[in-house]
Amino acid sequence: MYFARVFLACALLPAYSATFPQPPTGMPLDKELSPGRSDEALTVR
């Protein structure tokens, strides 16, 4: 039973992690122009 649970968890984990956003990586940008938007999308942190 234990092995069955471990197997199920291992089988489901990649599918879960593949479809949910991962935590953001890297330092935030100081300024950015976002894709598809006009120049008004400029952000300044």
Partner 1 sequence: MKPPLDIQRIDRPVSYTDGLAMQENAVAAILAGEIGDTLFLLEHEPIYTIGRLRDQSSLRASTTLPHPVFETNRGGQATYHGPGQLVGYPILDLNPRGRDLHLHLRLIEDALIAACADLGVSAGRREGMTGVWVENRKLASIGVGVRKWVSMHGFAINVTRESLPPFLAITPCGLDGVSMTCLEAEAAEPIGMARAYVALEARLLQTLGCS
Residue 6, number of CB atoms within 10 A of its CB: 10
**For partner 1, the closer CB: 10 or 25:** 25
Minimum CB distance to partner 1, residue 25 (Å): 6
What span, in angstroms and rounded, lies between the C-alpha atoms of 45 and 21?
23
Does residue 31 belong to the site contacting partner 1 (CB under 8 A)? yes
Does residue 20 belong to the site contacting partner 1 (CB under 8 A)? yes
**For partner 1, the closer CB: 9 or 41:** 41
